[in-house]
């Protein structure tokens, strides 16, 4: 097994295909059981190769976070794509092009966005983004009349189709425990139903990995859009959303220094991102596993990141590492870690290409 990693010479994101496929199959089965369309968010993996694993589970419609990412997946034959990001009028040329080629979903949360989408002059499905309390983007659930006005504008449009209302309840990521997470989800969903009732029966789209994994009540919802679940990570583990055996992305990092209190890795902020899980006063950017994809070793967290350096506390497993070896680190936030790379390595050694991020 170890020999297939001998040619890893730099910090490298490695995917466990069996785990990822199991994660996908589990979510697809749950969506079928609950009568929900699964429209997974592909911003997590950003890979047409991994996209085929979703196709194998019957997924035909996807979510992305930018028009550039939509174009990347459209080129691979995906033809039902929601860009779950407030419509950016500066990308009208690309949006118009895509709307002519695929079933394109866009988001608006105000008059400017609606006017800009209408100015496309191309067919697009438009979702009204609702803020159910997270406070980032969307029309506030407290102002359903504003959503009603947008819906009426959409229903009058000659080119745009009113798709429904959509939310992302990121508040579940801040939940202290499973119960408060479920309460947050239920509250968000109830607010969506209230808005839908006012503006006339319409589809409801929602989706964050914590709620999609843990909740059972999706009454009134028509589709879910979780993304992170394909890989999971330490944040999801800390929330009780996954266990060690479900984390499907790990960073293989060359060990370049061994000290009494810590291990120094080639693997820094530019390979992991600086997102972290807080454990007490400690910021953990990742955590060492026993060998490749083994159990998490809580005693060996990744506690420091500079541009290229990573510092792992010399806990039980870390203390066994040697200069020239590889350390296997589960990242705090797999979406951001994956985004930093232009390809993955599979556990069997194969290269898994991904989008370059268009940056």
Nearer to a copy of itself, 101 or 274 (CB): 274
Q: How far is the CB of 10 from a copy of itself (least distance, A)?
A: 7
What is the 8-class DSSP label of residue 232?
Answer: -
What is the 8-class DSSP label of residue 291?
Answer: S
Query: Which region, judged by CB under 8 A, interacts with a copy of itself, from 72-80, 198-206, 237-245, 337-345?
Result: 337-345
Query: Does residue 8 interact with a copy of itself by CB under 8 A?
Result: yes
Interface residue with a copy of itself among 63, 167, 209, 273 (CB under 8 A) is: 273
Nearer to a copy of itself, 68 or 294 (CB): 68
CA 340 to chain centre: 14
Query: Does residue 220 interact with a copy of itself by CB under 8 A?
Result: no
Q: How far is the CB of 24 from a copy of itself (least distance, A)?
A: 20
Query: Does residue 323 interact with a copy of itself by CB under 8 A?
Result: yes
Alpha carbon distance 141, 339 (integer Å): 32
User: Is the Cα dihedral 139, 336, 27, 40 positive or negative?
Assistant: positive
Mask for 147-186, x = binds a copy of itself (CB under 8 A): -----------------------x----------------
Distances (CA, A) of 63 to 31, 32, 39, 346: 15, 18, 6, 24
Q: Cβ neighbours of residue 294 under 8 Å, at least 6 residues apart?
A: 244, 328
Nearer to a copy of itself, 123 or 170 (CB): 170
Alpha carbon distance 185, 191 (integer Å): 10
Interface residue with a copy of itself among 37, 57, 88, 161 (CB under 8 A) is: 88
Alpha carbon distance 7, 5 (integer Å): 5
Radius of gyration of the chain from Cα atoms? 21
Query: Does residue 121 interact with a copy of itself by CB under 8 A?
Result: no
Q: Cβ neighbours of residue 223 under 8 Å, at least 6 residues apart?
A: 36, 37, 38, 39, 61, 203, 204, 205, 206, 207
Query: Does residue 113 interact with a copy of itself by CB under 8 A?
Result: yes
Beta bridge mates, 231: none
Alpha carbon distance 351, 271 (integer Å): 17
Query: Does residue 282 interact with a copy of itself by CB under 8 A?
Result: no
Interface residue with a copy of itself among 172, 289, 311, 334 (CB under 8 A) is: 311
Interface residue with a copy of itself among 258, 279, 292, 319 (CB under 8 A) is: 258
Alpha carbon distance 292, 288 (integer Å): 9
Q: Cβ neighbours of residue 315 under 8 Å, at least 6 residues apart?
A: 288, 297, 298, 299, 300, 301
Nearer to a copy of itself, 164 or 268 (CB): 268
Interface residue with a copy of itself among 16, 109, 233, 317 (CB under 8 A) is: 109
Are the CB atoms for 14 and 346 separated by under 8 Å? yes
Q: How far is the CB of 271 from a copy of itself (least distance, A)?
A: 7
Where along the sequence are the contacts to a copy of itself (CB under 8 A)? 8-11, 43, 65-66, 68, 85-91, 94, 109-110, 112-113, 116, 136-137, 170, 254, 256-258, 264, 266, 269-271, 273-275, 304, 306-309, 311, 322-324, 335-336, 339-342, 356-359
């Amino acid at each position: 097994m170890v020999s297939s990693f001998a040619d890893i010479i730099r910090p490298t994101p490695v995917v466990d295909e069996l785990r990822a496929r199991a994660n996908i199959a589990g979510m697809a089965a749950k969506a079928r059981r609950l009568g929900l369309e699964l429209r997974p968010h592909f911003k997590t993996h950003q890979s047409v190769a991994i996209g085929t694993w979703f196709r194998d589970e019957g997924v035909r419609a996807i979510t992305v976070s930018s028009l550039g990412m939509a174009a990347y997946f459209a080129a691979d034959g995906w033809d039902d794509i929601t860009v779950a990001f407030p419509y950016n009028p500066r990308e009208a040329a690309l949006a118009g092009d895509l709307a002519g080629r695929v079933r394109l979903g866009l988001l608006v949360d105000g008059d400017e966005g609606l006017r800009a989408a209408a100015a496309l002059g191309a067919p697009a499905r438009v979702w009204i983004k609702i803020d159910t309390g997270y406070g980032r983007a969307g029309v506030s659930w407290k102002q359903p009349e504003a959503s009603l006005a947008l819906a009426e504008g959409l229903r009058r449009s000659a080119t745009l189709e009113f798709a429904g209302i959509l939310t992302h309840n990121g508040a579940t990521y801040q939940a202290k425990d499973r119960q408060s997470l479920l309460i947050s989800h239920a509250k968000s969903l109830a607010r969506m139903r209230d808005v839908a009732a006012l503006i006339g029966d319409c589809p409801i789209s929602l989706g964050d990995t914590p709620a999609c994994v843990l909740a059972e009540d999706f009454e009134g919802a028509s589709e879910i859009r979780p993304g992170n679940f394909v890989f999971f990570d330490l944040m999801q583990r800390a929330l009780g959303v996954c266990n060690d055996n479900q984390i499907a992305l790990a960073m293989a990092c060359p060990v370049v220094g061994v000290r009494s209190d810590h291990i120094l890795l080639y693997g820094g902020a530019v390979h992991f991102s600086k997102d972290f899980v807080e454990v007490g006063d400690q910021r953990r950017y990742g955590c060492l596993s026993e060998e490749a994809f083994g159990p998490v070793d809580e005693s060996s967290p990744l506690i420091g990141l500079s541009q290229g350096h990573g510092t792992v506390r010399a806990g039980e497993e870390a203390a066994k590492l040697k200069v020239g070896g590889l350390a296997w680190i589960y990242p705090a936030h797999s979406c951001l870690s994956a985004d930093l790379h232009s390809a993955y390595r599979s556990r069997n050694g194969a290269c898994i290409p991904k989008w370059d991020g268009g940056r």
